[in-house]
Amino acid sequence: MADVAQDSGSVEAGRDARTSDAGDAGHRGPDGGKVVATSDGGGTRDSGGGIDGAAVFDGAPGSDSSGASSSATQLILFGGVGPDFDLSDTWSWNGSAWSAVSSTGPNSRSSAASASLQGNFVLFGGQITSETCANDTWSWNGATWTRVSSTGPSPRSGAMAATLGDHILLYGGQDADDNNLSDTWLWDGSSWSMLAVPPPAPRAGAAIATLGGTVVLFGGADANDNVLGVTWVWNGTQWSMAAATGPSPRVGAVAATLGNAVVLFGGRTYDDGGSTLDGDTWTWDGTSWSMASATGATPRTFAVAATLHGSVVLFGGLGVDDATLNDTWLWNGASWATSSAVGPEARYAAVMSAL
């Protein structure tokens, strides 16, 4: 079953060049292409559109793909794009405060994929420069980083990863030539295996999270820069389209599991007249989407989100007027509240998962 672009407009239509001092190269966006001043992963501008960042995914890039384990004691955040350059620092959130825990490990990167497995925070790939993506796999055990694999999926940024049972599922992303990908892989803690299954259309910059025995994938941008607004579900053996209605088509949203629902926030929506930063919150109950709140955390794209101690924690991203953010927000299932905690440097296109 094919994805539907829902006349959401093309990311390409609003793309303009943005350079970031990350090696004077700027950053490609998970939607496919060049550096962009409006985000979907990256820049943000009330009128222009374009994807500059990368995904989270988590997250979305940046989405919580860890399955929201009730035994988690902290959230681990790594890397992303800062105001001046790509970052390689590691931070921990304990439920009330941020702590810097490492300045060594993987080299600086953005738009990597992450999830937690067997007591380790696992990071794959990401964008190294505007023309280079990585395909290495790293593991953080709570004290040190270890490079555990340099083989598996091809180099990419903006892939989506989530924990399901005793494996991490990784899907899609974008290679260094701006080609969106649609392959599905499993990480068992020591090696990657590619699955020969019919996939959703190629995409990057989607939101992903685990719910029960499924992985939920929403939105993103396809190979033609069309922004998507359908929901796909992985049940452990195959992908299936689960819903064609719900949140507006968008890229750069984040998702995390809270209780019996997936919580989705933010992103960027495109139309023929430009683009809009989203600040709405939706929940997926396994069957359908419901809007939980139209306001709360300020609108943003390519933030990171993960669940800890009964709250979804949202950090950073790109906000209005291309502002790189460093604020922390908490969703308790009914409303958003901002935290006064001082933490990581402002950034977008980082990764964060529970550990």
- The arrangement of strands across the sheet holding 120-129 comes to 113-117, 120-129, 132-140, 145-149
Percent of the chain surpassing pLDDT 70: 80
* Residue 71 Cα to chain centre, angstroms: 23
Name residues whose C-beta falls within 8 Å of residue 70's C-beta, 6 or more positions apart in sequence.
none
Give the H or E element holding residue 209. strand 207-211
| CA–CA separation, 86 and 28 (whole Å) | 13
The pLDDT tens digits of the residues spanning 290-314 come to 999 999 999 999 999 999 999 999 9
For residues 72 and 355, is the Cβ–Cβ distance under 8 A? yes
The torsion defined by the Cα of 92, 57, 331 and 348, in degrees rounded to 10, comes to 70
Residue 293 lies in a domain: no
Given a cut of 80, whether residue 246 has pLDDT beyond it is: yes
Residue 285 lies in a domain: no
User: Which domain CATH number covers 15?
Assistant: 2.120.10.80
Gap between the terminal Cα atoms of the chain: 35
CA quadruple 200, 49, 56, 144: dihedral sign: positive
Residue 88 lies in a domain: yes
CB neighbour burial string for 274-294, b if at least 16 within 10 angstroms, e if fewer: bbbbbbbbbbbeeeebeebbe
The pLDDT tens digits of the residues spanning 103-161 come to 899 999 999 999 999 999 999 999 999 999 999 999 999 999 999 999 999 999 999 99
**pLDDT (0 to 100) of residue 123:** 98
Q: Which residue has the higher pLDDT, 235 or 271?
A: 235
Confidence of residue 30 (pLDDT cuts 50, 70, 90): very low
Tokens of 181: 């990908």
Residue 283 lies in a domain: no
Domain residue limits at 72: 11-257+267-276+299-354
- The DSSP bridge pattern shows strands 98-102 and 113-117 to be unpaired
Residue 234 lies in a domain: yes
Residue 49 lies in a domain: yes
| CA–CA separation, 14 and 268 (whole Å) | 12
Given a cut of 90, whether residue 60 has pLDDT beyond it is: no
Domain count, the chain: 1
Residue 108 lies in a domain: yes
Given a cut of 70, whether residue 36 has pLDDT beyond it is: no
Backbone angles phi, psi at 14, to 5 degrees: -110, 15
pTM (global) more than 0.75: yes
For residues 318 and 271, is the Cβ–Cβ distance under 8 A? no
Residue 84 exposure: Cα atoms within 13 Å on the Cβ side: 1
Tally of CB atoms within 10 A around 176:
18
Confidence of residue 334 (pLDDT cuts 50, 70, 90): very high
Nearest of 93, 144, 104 to residue 326 by alpha carbon: 93
Tokens of 127: 């964008």
| CA–CA separation, 195 and 173 (whole Å) | 16
Residue 159 lies in a domain: yes
Nearest of 137, 144, 74 to residue 102 by alpha carbon: 144
